Structure 1
Amino acid sequence: MSTRDKIVSLGLELIQIKGINGFSFADIAKVINIKKASIHYYFPSKHDLIEAVLEKYSIDFFEALKASTASTLKEKLEYYISLYRANLIEGRICLCTDLAMDTNNLSSDINAKVGSFFEKNLAWLQEQFSEDSKQKLASEFFANLQGAQLIDRNQKSINYFDVITANSIERILVTLNKN
């Protein structure tokens, strides 16, 4: 792994665990065992690092989503949820969920990219649902998922996340069977 990739990987971990203001380039330099100036060579500012982390996270997330072999709606939604759940198991939260909580501390450029990540999530969810209800169902499902992550992070109980997301899938399946 290149030095740049190590910095991005550690940056992702630190943002997801501590938030954007919870670490410094000195923290990264210490862990990777490089000089702080070396980080500035790749990323002149924290903003530049956050952008790189966000780009990698988004690419990896949607590649993982495309790699799914799920065939039924239930399987697709369970797989989708598993991508978010994996972060929680590691004591993290979705990068974009975390960044959205720091909107006031981020540039409009980064906020737009976070918004784009959320829009792509909603678009994927809408593709899974029938035409007459897709926007409403996608929005409700996504909001439940986001809220469940935040409460899980505070409560440190994956059970809460699992119950909320399982209930969300069940409601969608029941709703779609009625239509």
Structure 2
Amino acid sequence: MLPYDIFARTMETPKDFKDDRLDRENFLKFDQIGKSNDYVMSVASRFQLCEPSQVHEYGEATVAVKNNRYLALNGVFPDPMKRYIGFYDFYAKSALDLKLTTYTSMIKYRPEHGQTAHFQVEIYWNGLGSSRDRKECRRQMREAISDGCFGPTVSPEVIDDENLAGPIAALERRQQPVRRLFSAACMT
């Protein structure tokens, strides 16, 4: 994984929003792997999904899988239905540069549900630290990725939806950070 590889984290409602605002803690939530102390967060490769429309298709398909899974388990669709909103991008370095005391972080290729652009940010417990220390490290990881996010790119399917006007308007707009190709020592 190269530091400036770009990944997208898709947003959905209602999960990622609270009081008509993006809830960064839910949006960048790491899911526990079984009963282990290891965690993952799904992301999409922008190397494979170069165009925003491709990321939107990925996001729509992901939400459809979740809605259909709920239907299969409960016999009805969720109420309210999960809806794809759009995505934020971030550089791999946002997830990999943070030096965690209790976890090792990596981004791995993990296709699922027919989505070949699916990757996971994975953090593996190194056996050190208390439960509180591990929780704090996960918070720091969410914060590092959040600080590195740029966008958003909102889906054309929802941009004019009056029910989503508030949450969409409240999304924080961030410019893509400038990549430094040369160190200051090379500049004269």
Asked whether the two chains share a fold, i.e. TM above 0.5, the reply is no
Structure holding more helix per residue? 1
TM-score, normalising length from structure 1? 0.29
TM-score, normalising length from structure 2? 0.28
Structure holding more strand per residue? 2
